[in-house]
């Protein structure tokens, strides 16, 4: 690739700088930034869109805010006229794990792959304009490769280079088996970039090795090398671990407005800025202002977090749903003066219980007569709503909040 920056008019250069600034916001690592700038320059100069690649695992189609870090970045590219290439890694999915050891890598049928892809598509539609998306299934080209092609591909990479991947290096060092076929997953991902001639590949920082493989293979196959853009990994609600389905610390983008809002309110204060930056569509200026007002104390953390919750709900459910979720939260938690810290009680009873049994089993009342009296006096609320029927049967669910009088609260954990 020649140097396109040198050929730009000053007006074009301003446009290149504008895009470069936008795309580099919130990114953890760009390899290398010069190439990114030059690719943008080429695109501006030739009025030709860049191809921005994102690979997807077809076995785990539940999309949560952790995924949207990358999707939000893709949207920026899309809004500037670039082409988004979504690759469903169905070839890998259809093979499964030949050693049979990994349950996660079980073999998927064509139908499962298609269904999972549809699920992705529906969810991604909340962030991206799916009509402008290029969707690819990598089985289209990978299933056509024969043994000779594979040997030629394998001839373009050394064993030592593959063993540099952290997990491989560690497993080899500790005598944990690496099955040879595992070496091919990064190779396939790299080869996808060769076939699609991607300009940029996005991923989390955990994709560092695999995305650079694409750059390596493009060079070996005589193509222009892609730029690796690595996004930070978003910690989940626990504030520690990477957001993931298995850790149950996620906000799914298909969750209801109330769930979403409530979960957003449980994010640790120190992660708020990161969530604003990586998980919302607010502009750099808006985020900067929030940060300053928080620092100077103009903005109360609680209010900032409510803005975060409202923004996230608005992104996936619209402005009206966001407003309602906020109102619901205020009516239940704030007007009722629910304290920040509610004692959590594990529930080992039936999945349905009469309200009286519930109060006794949770040790909120000592006797049935006492409980009955409290309900009759309008002193019992479940999820903020007054209980008016003494016979009420309550479906017991996770995070159900039971309140007696003004100060006694319990949150149920199943």
What residue numbers does the annotated binding site for ATP cover?
245
- DSSP assigned state of 360: H
Q: By CB under 8 A, name the one of 48, 132, 181, 393 that touches a copy of itself.
A: 181
Residues 225, 223: Cα–Cα separation, whole Å: 6
Q: Which stretch binds a copy of itself (CB under 8 A): 61-69, 90-98, 207-215, 372-380?
A: 90-98
Residues 230, 26: Cα–Cα separation, whole Å: 10
- The partner residues of 200 in beta bridges, in order of sequence, read 52, 227
Question: Is 156 one of the binding residues for a copy of itself (CB under 8 A)?
Answer: yes
Residue 369, judged by CB atoms within 10 A of its CB (0-12, 13-18, 19+), counts as exposed
Cβ 192 to a copy of itself, closest distance in Å?
Answer: 13
Cβ 230 to a copy of itself, closest distance in Å?
Answer: 24
Q: Which stretch binds a copy of itself (CB under 8 A): 70-78, 110-118, 173-181, 279-287?
A: 173-181
Q: By CB under 8 A, name the one of 6, 111, 131, 148 that touches a copy of itself.
A: 148
Which residues make Cβ contacts (< 8 Å) with residue 168, sequence separation at least 6?
Answer: 162, 178, 182, 183
Q: Which stretch binds a copy of itself (CB under 8 A): 46-54, 172-180, 268-276, 396-404?
A: 172-180
Cβ 247 to a copy of itself, closest distance in Å?
Answer: 28
66: which 2 tokens?
């952790």
Cβ 225 to a copy of itself, closest distance in Å?
Answer: 19
Cβ 277 to a copy of itself, closest distance in Å?
Answer: 39
Residues 54, 33: Cα–Cα separation, whole Å: 19
Question: Is 103 one of the binding residues for a copy of itself (CB under 8 A)?
Answer: no
Q: 171 vs 411, which CB is nearer to a copy of itself?
A: 171
Report which of 240, 264, 271 is spatially closest to residue 315, judged by C-alpha positions. 264
Q: Which stretch binds a copy of itself (CB under 8 A): 88-96, 324-332, 360-368, 387-395?
A: 88-96
Q: Which stretch binds a copy of itself (CB under 8 A): 15-23, 76-84, 151-159, 309-317?
A: 151-159
Cβ 222 to a copy of itself, closest distance in Å?
Answer: 14
Q: By CB under 8 A, name the one of 22, 154, 195, 338 that touches a copy of itself.
A: 154
Question: Is 371 one of the binding residues for a copy of itself (CB under 8 A)?
Answer: no
Cβ 134 to a copy of itself, closest distance in Å?
Answer: 23
Question: Is 168 one of the binding residues for a copy of itself (CB under 8 A)?
Answer: yes
Q: Which residues are annotated as a binding site?
A: 245
Question: Is 94 one of the binding residues for a copy of itself (CB under 8 A)?
Answer: yes
Q: By CB under 8 A, name the one of 56, 86, 95, 127 that touches a copy of itself.
A: 95
Which residues make Cβ contacts (< 8 Å) with residue 124, sequence separation at least 6?
Answer: 63, 71, 86, 130, 133
Question: Is 241 one of the binding residues for a copy of itself (CB under 8 A)?
Answer: no
Report helix, strand or coil for 183: helix
Packing angle of the helix pair 65-79, 272-279 (nearest 10 deg): 40
Alpha carbon distance, N-terminus to C-terminus of the chain = 58
Question: Is 104 one of the binding residues for a copy of itself (CB under 8 A)?
Answer: no
Question: Is 163 one of the binding residues for a copy of itself (CB under 8 A)?
Answer: yes
**Segments of 180-291 assigned E as strands:** 200-204, 227-231
161: which 2 tokens?
């280079």
Packing angle of the helix pair 301-317, 272-279 (nearest 10 deg): 20
Report which of 44, 33, 104, 122 is spatially closest to residue 80, judged by C-alpha positions. 44
Sites for a copy of itself among residues 58-87 (CB under 8 A): none
Radius of gyration of the chain (CA): 26
Q: 103 vs 151, which CB is nearer to a copy of itself?
A: 151
Q: 137 vs 168, which CB is nearer to a copy of itself?
A: 168
8 Å CB contact between 68 and 253: yes
Residue 19, judged by CB atoms within 10 A of its CB (0-12, 13-18, 19+), counts as buried
Interface size with a copy of itself, residues (CB under 8 A) = 37
**What residue ranges bind a copy of itself (CB under 8 A)?**
91, 94-95, 97-99, 142-152, 154-160, 162-163, 168, 172, 175, 177-181, 183-184, 187
């Amino acid at each position: 690739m020649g140097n396109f920056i040198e050929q730009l008019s000053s007006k074009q250069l301003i446009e290149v700088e504008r895009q470069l600034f936008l795309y580099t916001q919130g990114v953890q690592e760009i390899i290398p930034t010069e190439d990114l700038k030059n690719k943008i320059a080429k695109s501006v100069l030739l009025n030709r869109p860049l191809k921005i690649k994102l690979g997807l695992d077809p076995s785990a189609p539940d999309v949560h805010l952790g995924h949207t870090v990358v999707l939000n970045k893709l949207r920026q590219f899309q809004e500037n006229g670039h082409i988004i290439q979504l690759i469903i890694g169905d070839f890998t999915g259809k093979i499964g794990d030949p050693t049979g050891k990994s349950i996660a890598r079980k073999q998927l049928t064509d139908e499962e792959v298609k269904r999972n892809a549809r699920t992705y598509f529906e969810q991604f539609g909340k962030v991206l304009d799916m009509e402008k998306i290029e969707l690819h299934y990598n089985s289209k080209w990978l299933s056509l490769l024969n043994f000779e092609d594979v040997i030629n591909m394998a001839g373009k990479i050394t064993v030592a280079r593959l063993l540099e991947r952290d997990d491989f290096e560690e497993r080899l060092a500790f005598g944990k088996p690496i099955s040879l076929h595992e070496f091919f997953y990064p190779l396939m991902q790299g080869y996808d970039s060769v076939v699609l001639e991607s300009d940029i590949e996005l991923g989390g920082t955990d994709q560092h090795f695999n995305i650079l493989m694409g750059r390596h293979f493009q060079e070996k196959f005589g193509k222009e090398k892609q730029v690796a853009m690595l996004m930070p990994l978003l910690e989940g609600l626990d504030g520690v671990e990477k957001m993931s389905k298995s850790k149950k610390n996620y906000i799914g983008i298909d969750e209801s407005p109330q769930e979403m809002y409530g979960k957003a309110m449980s994010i640790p204060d120190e992660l708020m800025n990161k969530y604003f930056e990586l998980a919302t569509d607010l502009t750099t200026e808006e985020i900067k202002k929030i940060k300053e007002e928080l620092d100077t104390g103009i903005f109360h953390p609680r209010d900032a977090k409510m803005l975060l919750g409202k923004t996230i709900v608005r992104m996936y459910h619209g402005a009206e749903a966001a407003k309602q979720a906020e109102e619901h939260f205020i009516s239940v938690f704030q007007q009722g003066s629910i304290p920040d810290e509610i004692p959590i009680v594990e529930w080992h009873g039936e999945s349905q219980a009469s309200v009286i049994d519930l109060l006794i089993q949770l040790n909120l009342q000592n006797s049935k007569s006492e409980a009955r009296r409290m309900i009759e006096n309008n002193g019992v609320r479940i999820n903020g709503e007054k209980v008016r029927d003494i016979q009420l049967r309550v479906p017991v669910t996770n995070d159900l909040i039971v309140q007696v009088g003004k100060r006694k609260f319990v949150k149920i954990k199943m």
